[in-house]
Amino acid sequence: MNVCVSPYRGRFAPSPTGPLHFGSLVAAVGSYLEARRRGGAWLVRIEDIDTPRNAPGAADTILRTLEGFGFRWDGEVTFQSRRTDAYRAAFERLRRDGLVFPCACSRREIADSALAPDGSRRYPGTCRGGLPAGRRGRAWRLRVEDGPVRFRDRLQGEVTEDVAHAVGDFVLLRADGVFAYQLAVVVDDAAQGITEVVRGADLLDSTPRQIYLQRLLGVATPAYCHLPAAVNARGEKLSKQTRARALDASRPQPALAAALAFLGQRPPADLGEAELDALWQWALEHWDMERVPHRRSAAAPAGFA
Ligand code: GLU
């Protein structure tokens, strides 16, 4: 019998909204070590499609920080800002299939709709049957049909969501002409042949939408593994908004050792002072996804929030 095992391909996909912080380091470390442990490739993709949120110079800073921390990626770094044609092709295909519709609603008009799991507003379906008289389409939404999307996350377990009920018809092409993250990430993960997505659990709520889109576009669904997201003392996910501390590229070891400990690995007490090569050697030899806590979030260690 011929067993065809597809080679492992993982990725790290930061948005260049600011410098890397401890939360992004956790996603980088987890996805990198898992890919290397499985003898696979690890790709870096700069998710700079949301141009209004991009911080000038952040993409460069992120790549230099990754390099300084000792990450080695495979192939060229990809930039979403250069892949608009691919997103447009996917969008046009959905449009030809009658699966998208223009929507005239402003954010304010759907502000009192029910909350979706990710904190956005569930779309009440206002323009689904056609634009109200005298209104112009602003954004384009996907027509989402009822029915559960189920998947088994390696760390977070079974997830079931009826996307139509939880989120409703979601935006694929925004009013400002930018393709939505949900579409771009699905097109890119498919184009790059990603076999497993390892990322922070703050994105768990996006996964059912991504799987829903993968099915419509006829592309493979990768395996998913959502790592605990690092939160600060107030329980907020580290981000630019929470003014998360930027990683110090001149001293990677303490942050790397802290990220390994955060991910349930048991680094020796002095690993934070080891040579960078020795630290990575330890990490590659000892990395075990089974040890990562099955939690959606955990506190970042002192000094890294
Ligand atoms: N660009 C997203 C972020 O930085 C991550 C997307 C993903 O890993 O799917 O939050």
Residue 5 has a pLDDT of 65
- Write the CB contacts of 172 (distance below 8 Å, at least 6 apart in sequence): 91, 94, 100, 140, 141, 142, 179, 180, 182, 183
| Nearest by Cα to 155 from 8, 34, 5, 17 | 34
Region of 6 on the Ramachandran plot (φ > 0 left; ψ -120 to 50 alpha; else beta) = beta
With a 6 Å cutoff on the Cβ, whether 15 touches ligand 1 is yes
With a 6 Å cutoff on the Cβ, whether 203 touches ligand 1 is yes
With a 6 Å cutoff on the Cβ, whether 58 touches ligand 1 is no
Rounded Cα–Cα distance for residues 176 and 90 (Å) = 18
Q: Give me the domains of the chain, ranges plus CATH numbers.
A: 9-82+190-299 (3.40.50.620), 85-173 (3.90.800.10)
- From the CA of 202, give the closest atom in ligand 1: 10
Rounded Cα–Cα distance for residues 293 and 200 (Å) = 12
Residue 3 has a pLDDT of 59
Residue 118 has a pLDDT of 87
Residue 240 has a pLDDT of 84
Whether this model's pTM surpasses 0.75:
yes
Give residue 67 CA to ligand 1 midpoint distance, Å: 19
Give residue 281 CA to ligand 1 midpoint distance, Å: 27
With a 6 Å cutoff on the Cβ, whether 185 touches ligand 1 is yes
Mutation choice for ligand 1 from 45, 54, 65, 185, CB with most ligand atoms inside 8 A: 185
Residue 4 has a pLDDT of 59
DSSP string, 22-34: HHHHHHHHHHHHH
- From the CA of 185, give the closest atom in ligand 1: 9
Query: With contact defined as beta carbons under 8 Å apart, do 193 and 261 qualify?
Result: no
With a 6 Å cutoff on the Cβ, whether 201 touches ligand 1 is no
The token pair that represents 59 in the structure block: 């993409």
pLDDT in tens, the chain (305 residues): 555 566 999 999 999 999 999 999 999 999 999 999 999 999 999 999 988 889 999 999 999 999 999 999 999 999 999 999 999 999 999 999 999 999 999 988 898 888 998 888 899 999 999 999 999 999 999 999 999 999 999 999 999 999 999 999 999 999 999 999 999 999 999 999 999 999 999 999 999 999 999 999 999 999 999 999 999 999 999 988 899 999 998 999 999 999 999 999 999 999 999 999 999 999 999 999 999 999 999 999 999 99
Rounded Cα–Cα distance for residues 289 and 299 (Å) = 19
- From the CA of 199, give the closest atom in ligand 1: 8
Give residue 46 CA to ligand 1 midpoint distance, Å: 9
DSSP class of 164: H
Mutation choice for ligand 1 from 9, 29, 178, 199, CB with most ligand atoms inside 8 A: 199
